[in-house]
Amino acid sequence: MIHKIDTVDNMVAFRALAEVTKDDFKTVVVPAIEELVKRTNQINFLLVLDTDLKDFTAGAWLQDAMIGLKHLGKWNRSAIVTDSDDIIAFTNGFSVIMPGEFKGFKKETFNKALNWVEGNIN
C-alpha cells in the first residue's frame, strides 16, 4: 500500500509499505501527481520505500511507467528514500535517461531528501 505524506505545496510525497498494487497508484499516486502538475506545471516527487521492490505488483510497475511517460517533460526533482544501496545507485543514474534530477537517499537522511525535493538545498 502507498500512503501520501503531507508536505509543502510544490511537491508530493509517499510511503510504500507491504504490497504495492496498481490500485495504490491509481487511487493515491496518480491523483496527487495530476493535481500537482495542474498547480505547478512540474513534478517534485519523494517516495520512501519501507518495502522491498519485489512487493510491487506488475500492475504497480505498469502504472508507475505510465505516469512517467505521460508527464515526461514535467519531472523536476525526484527522490527515493531507502536503505538499499542498489536502489540508490539506480536512482542516481536515472537522471541520465530521464528529464529532471533524480537522487537516492538513505532513510536516516529523510529530512535532507525532503529539503532537496522542496528545492531548499542543492
| CATH number of the domain enclosing 107 | 3.40.50
Cell of 35: 493535481
Q: How many domains does the chain have?
A: 1
Average pLDDT, the chain: 87
Mean pLDDT of the region 69-84: 85
Show the CA angle centred on residue 26, arms to residues 25 and 30, nearest 5°. Answer: 75
pTM for the model stands at: 0.89
pLDDT digits (tens, 9 = 90+) for 13-44: 999 999 888 888 889 998 999 999 999 999 99
Show the domain range for 104: 2-118
Sheet (strand 12-17) strand order: 2-5, 12-17, 43-50, 75-81, 101-105
Residue 20's CB: how many other CB atoms inside 10 A? 26
